[in-house]
Amino acid sequence: MNMRSVRRALALLPLTLLTAAAQNAPKAEQLRTLSDSIEALSHNVSGAVVQVFSTGYTLGADDESGGGTPTGLVTKQRSSGSGVIVSPEGYIITNNHVVQNARRVRVQIAWSPEARAANAARAADSTSSAAGKNADNQLMRATLLEAAVVGTDREVDLAVLKISSPRPLPVLKLADSEKLRQGQLVLAFGNPLGLENSVSLGVVSSVGRQIRVDDPLLYIQTDAPINPGNSGGPLVDASGDVVGINTFILSQSGGSEGIGFAIPSNVVNSVYQQIRKDGHVHRGEIGVTVQSITPELAAGLDLKQDWGVILSDVDPDGPAAASSLRPGDIVTTVNEKPVLDARQFEIELYRMSLNQVVNIGAIRGTDRFGAQIKVIERQDDPFRFLDLVKPEANRVLKLGIIGIEITKDLAPVLPDTRKPYGIIVAARSGESEYGGQGGLKLGDVIYSVNNAPVSSLEALRGAVDRLKPADPLVMQIERGGKLMYLILSE
């Protein structure tokens, strides 16, 4: 380029800059509008996002980091996470792992400046009652409110809490996660690493991400930064409605790497409504076991197709058998949706509520037929009773254990035991006064002490307390499905 060309370019530079500025003015205004919208959205949402603190007990590990092999010793545990208020009555949704084994749960509300100002004004109002002023002052001073655990769902990792507040609570609405689309803007709220009332922005990376092959739950994947402490907080859309509950991340560093996952709001709403109504979650089944059809399976069984789902087993007493389904039938559709593999079949069934009728399309040989099957309740998680343990009430000090009584209500959800009574060793609570033969182990069931049957914790404590220092201690226990006598000594 010669000097003449350079001078011409310099002469035209102001005009070029002015033209570019004029062209970019609408874009700048759009950016300011977007920023203002996100600011307003954050302001409206953050008041309903809470910090959850729980104190409880857990099994210790054989190293200080907690990452080693469980020792069976019960240790005190403090944890924190996030939650979201979803009803004016004070119901809060969070993750189960935030409050698991909690003995005490407290919630901190991020009161907005407007709420604080309004409450301060009410407290200063000369016409307000003394009781009302006192309630307002206490509310503003109380950074933590006691919360009750209404119910938990370990399988989906959700919990419902309830708080009482003398003043109206901010509430967020659960959206329809089926309408969520890849690429939509979302905001993640919570308390990452204990930093109260934080927000991060991202997009929906995937609307249906399966993490494990055997997991029927599909998660929302997002690149909105999520860190420890965000668990239980809401993932919201551009309308400020909850589309998911932030639950976990995949990370090589331990911090956010843009791969976070949230439980879809439709699943959250189903769990929330069931826990609020019944205190627990009902899971459905139709009494079948399915497998994906592979080319090898199709060749070996001489099937006409090398894809889809085959019934490998049908419970003879279940609703599927009553609807004429048999092992070897090929399922083609569930509720008119084609199913390509066992994963999709399980996902479609997982969404069904109890007593709903699922429409199955199937093939048997060359015949195509349909079946209408009522969804029944699935057998409960046999280890769910562990969430109900209260260490203070369940501790047997002299044996150094935490035990659980087998009751008629508890027996149906436990693995089969040889007798309809007894005490299950759920954990070790410290050093035992007795040794010998390796001592009691987790999962042992205690049936008697020196031939005296024990069907309650009180009976077990009494039988041990009555022993003199020189008396033998012989317990009949069940271990691994076999009965044995365990000899202990001081």
DSSP-based three-state secondary structure for 129: coil
For residue 281, what is the DSSP state? -
Contact 318, 329 (CB under 8 A): no
Could you tell me which residues come within 8 angstroms of residue 104 by beta carbon, excluding any fewer than 6 positions away?
54, 55, 56, 146
Quick one: which of 90, 86, 59, 93 has its CA closest to 73?
59
Q: Say whether 324 is catalytic.
A: no
- CA 264 to CA 285: how far, in whole Å? 21
Q: 246 and 262 in contact (C-beta within 8 Å)?
A: yes
Q: How many degrees, rounded to 5, is the angle at CA 240 between CA 238 and CA 243? A: 85
Cα separation of 343 and 73, whole Å? 38
Which residue among 198, 231, 323, 429 is the active-site one?
231
Query: Helices 130-141 & 113-124, crossing angle to 10 degrees?
Result: 150
With b for 16 or more beta-carbon neighbours within 10 A and e for fewer, the 75-86 pattern comes to eebebbbbbbbb
d(CA 300, CA 313): 17
Strands 70-85 and 145-153: unpaired
Whether the Cβ atoms of residue 238 and residue 185 lie closer than 8 Å to each other: yes
Please give the Cα distance from 233 to 193 (Å, whole number). 13
User: Do the Cβ atoms of 392 and 359 come closer than 8 Å?
Assistant: no
The C-alpha atoms of residue 189 and residue 210 are separated, in whole angstroms, by 23
Q: Which tokens go with 302?
A: 């001489």
Q: Which residues pair with 51 in a beta bridge?
A: 82, 108
Residue 167 to residue 134: CA distance in whole angstroms? 12
Q: How far is CA 139 from CA 124, 127, 128, in A?
A: 14, 19, 15
Quote the radius of gyration of the chain (alpha carbons, Å): 30
Identify the active-site residue in 42, 97, 177, 256. Answer: 97
Catalytic residue among 157, 223, 237, 329: 157
Q: Is 97 a catalytic residue?
A: yes
Of 171, 152, 168, whose CA–CA distance to 160 is shortest?
Answer: 152
Q: Side chain identity at 220, as an amino acid letter?
A: I
Sign of the Cα torsion 49, 55, 60, 66 reads positive
Our answer to whether residue 231 is catalytic in this structure is yes
Element (H or E) spanning 197, and its range? Answer: none
Distance CA 159, CA 148 (A): 11
Residues assigned a catalytic role: 97, 157, 231
